Amino acid sequence: MGSPGSFASPARVVQAIRIRVRSFGRATGGVSAVEFALIFPIMLLLLVGIIELSNGVDNWRKVTLLSRAVADLTSQGDKQNPMTDAAMADILRSAKLILRPFDTTNVKIVVSALGVD
């Protein structure tokens, strides 16, 4: 088998393993890094969700303002001062400015009116 000092006895190997396992169980050096690695994706998802939610609320608010402005401006016409096509086009063109900085390429504004004589 070789020289008596070249191999460790099985009892010594088991004892060394036990010591290392105990010291591994007491080690706390990487706990915060592991906790951060577990929590970071959740926090990042939460941040992105909050940003998207605030953009959605802002867009909803701007659409509400746009509808109020268009309704107010188009209701100004009456029999003495009827709403012309040019005035309506100006109102609709300027109403899209309310939605900025959001994309207005696919915005469709529909104005319906009833007149009573």
Global pTM reads: 0.61
DSSP string covering 65-105: HHHHHHHHHHTT--SSSPPPHHHHHHHHHHHGGGGTTS--T
pLDDT band at 25 (very low <50, low <70, confident <90, very high): confident
The terminus-to-terminus CA distance of the chain in angstroms comes to 117
Residue 18 corresponds to which tokens in the numbers above?
Answer: 């036990």
pLDDT band at 7 (very low <50, low <70, confident <90, very high): low
CA distances from 87 to 64, 73, 82, 84 (A): 21, 10, 10, 5
Q: Which amino acid is present at 56?
A: G
Residue 88 corresponds to which tokens in the numbers above?
Answer: 């309506």
Distance of CA 25 to the CA centre of its chain: 40
- Tens digits of per-residue pLDDT, 63-113? 999 999 998 988 887 777 788 888 888 888 888 888 888 888 888 888 887
- Tens digits of per-residue pLDDT, 31-66? 888 889 999 999 999 999 999 999 999 999 999 999
